Amino acid sequence: MSKIKTAFFCGNCGYESTKWLGKCPSCNQWNTFIEEVIDKGNSKTQDNWKTYNTEKRSTAVIALTDVTSKEEKRITTNDPELNRVLGGGIVPGSIVLVAGEPGIGKSTLMLQDALELKNIVTLYISGEESEQQIKMRADRLKISNENFYLLTETSTHIIFQEIKKLKPDFVIVDSIQTLQSDIAESSPGSITQIRECAAAFQRFAKETDTPVFLIGHITKDGTIAGPKLLEHMVDTVLQFEGDRHYAYRILRTLKNRFGSTAELGIYEMTGDGMRAVLNPSEILINQKEEQLSGSAIAASMEGMRPLLIEVQALVTQSVYGTPQRTVTGFDLRRLQLLLAVLEKRGGFQFGVKDVFVNIAGGLKVEDPSIDLSVICALLSSYEDVPLPAHICFAGEVGLNGEIRAVNRIEQRIAEAEKLGFEKIVVSKFNKKGFDKNQFKIEIVALTRVDEVYRYLF
């Protein structure tokens, strides 16, 4: 009998070793190595895709100058948010990983988008749900498609046999952690299995020009389950996130070989599936009957899209010895930096106050241009004076209390004007980048935080 071959794999990054190691030399994590069976010595053949297409793909060496550059054809879906995030549509032969928390709506979004592709043959492979469960979800979405096919199977060998019979134009795998390859002997979801199954689908996608979407799980600390190699193998990594207590979901691009990694798609979870939110600024700004203190509107950018979001702040006298600093949707270290700027450059005593900051709508914002609106919301709550109506802010705040210029200022101003704002406060250094006369909105250009305080209060 053949000898059973085993190896040790790092549970964090997928590093392979012939013996157990206490510390991983790749990611420097301790006690992460797990022993897995990689081969029992059985002769196994990999799938051959040379007879799949009529076009023969040449594997000879070719000079770069001899390659004809042509515009890549994309499959345009009926979902404008997914098209934007992918860079204009689905690229043939691409392999896309969609990850997110349980119950966030990954399977619903993929099923909905696949059912709306009426003209191409789609195969939906599910290792988690039965045909009846998927049918119930499709009935809830109220979309019918005769070119949509289901396969509930976890063995990649059987899956590829069915793919050769059907020859689909688009494949969705739900999820990659449930599949099992004959090449490796370990259990589904292990590092070896995820790597082998993803590699098999990568070979299939590249050799047949068939786009493949892999739905992936995430771990308890928010990272994508499986080896880090999985993210390197795929062409695009999409993160589907959002607070399950809110109706809104965000589709972020973590990696994209065919477009920008700064794009963002926003959806609203409804009873009939995911609805693409085409104008999120109107939703993210709460309409209030009366002006309240501690609220400021920020003109931010997510990728190429301008967003107007509401920043809420609450400053109260500290009851305990150590003041609290609590944030939702904003970086805590950034808040501490801004509070230090206000204490040093403005003379405000935030050291004895509890400070709470919240980005309305459940968004997580990383754009530094919301610094100015956070500071204005803090000052408004500190003085307990509401900010003037119909005013918004766009500016980064430096350590010396100066207001720094931000990029794409024209798009931010145009979005504020479109939503009916009368004034926007920007950095004086941004004035060189645009023509002030082309906008009807009043543009207030200031240089320092103390000037903003004097202007508002």
The domain tally of the chain equals 3
CA pair distance 121, 123, nearest whole angstrom: 7
Q: Is 268 marked as binding a ligand?
A: no
Residue 56 has pLDDT above 60, yes or no: no
For residue 414, tell me if it sits in a domain: yes
Q: Is 80 marked as binding a ligand?
A: no
117 and 178 fall within a common domain: yes
Per residue in 252-268, pLDDT (tens digit) is 888 999 988 878 888 88
387 and 348 fall within a common domain: yes
Residue 50 has pLDDT above 90, yes or no: no
Terminal Cα distance for the chain, rounded: 85
Supply the CATH number for residue 359's domain.
3.30.230.10
Is 288 or 120 the better-scoring residue by pLDDT? Answer: 120
Q: How far is CA 30 from CA 8, 23, 46, 189, in A?
A: 14, 4, 35, 21
Supply the CATH number for residue 126's domain.
3.40.50.300
126 and 195 fall within a common domain: yes
CA pair distance 159, 151, nearest whole angstrom: 8
32 and 84 fall within a common domain: no
pLDDT at 97: 95
Beta-bridge mates of residue 123: 149, 171
Q: Is 265 marked as binding a ligand?
A: no
Least confident of 48-62, 125-139, 164-178, 397-411: 48-62
Beta-bridge mates of residue 273: 270
184 and 323 fall within a common domain: no
Tokens of 71: 């515009």
Per residue in 170-192, pLDDT (tens digit) is 999 998 999 998 877 778 888 88
Residue 418 has pLDDT above 90, yes or no: no
Q: Is 41 marked as binding a ligand?
A: no
Tokens of 406: 């931000």
pLDDT at 58: 63
Domain boundary (278, 295, 325) is at: 278
Residue 121 has pLDDT above 80, yes or no: yes
pLDDT at 2: 55
Domain boundary (224, 251, 278) is at: 278
In 116-216, where does DSSP find H-type helix?
Answer: 131-141, 156-166, 191-208
Beta carbons of 112 and 148 less than 8 angstroms apart: no
For the beta carbon of residue 447, count every other beta carbon within 10 angstroms. 15
Q: Is 101 marked as binding a ligand?
A: yes
CA pair distance 190, 184, nearest whole angstrom: 10
Q: What is the mean pLDDT of the chain?
A: 87
Per residue in 184-230, pLDDT (tens digit) is 777 888 888 888 899 999 999 999 999 999 999 988 777 887 778 88
209 and 221 fall within a common domain: yes
**What is the domain extent for residue 309?**
282-456
CA pair distance 107, 214, nearest whole angstrom: 10
Per residue in 376-385, pLDDT (tens digit) is 999 999 999 9
Q: Is 107 marked as binding a ligand?
A: yes
For residue 54, tell me if it sits in a domain: no
What pTM was computed for the model?
A: 0.76
pLDDT at 43: 45
Average pLDDT of the residues in 19-36: 88
310 and 272 fall within a common domain: no
In this prediction, what percent of the chain has a pLDDT beyond 90?
Answer: 47
For residue 225, tell me if it sits in a domain: yes
Average pLDDT of the residues in 341-361: 90
Q: Is 38 marked as binding a ligand?
A: no
For residue 242, tell me if it sits in a domain: yes
For residue 247, tell me if it sits in a domain: yes
Per residue in 98-112, pLDDT (tens digit) is 999 888 889 999 999
Q: pLDDT-derived band of residue 63, with 50, 70 and 90 as boundaries?
A: very high
Q: Is 361 marked as binding a ligand?
A: no
The DSSP output letter for 174 is: E
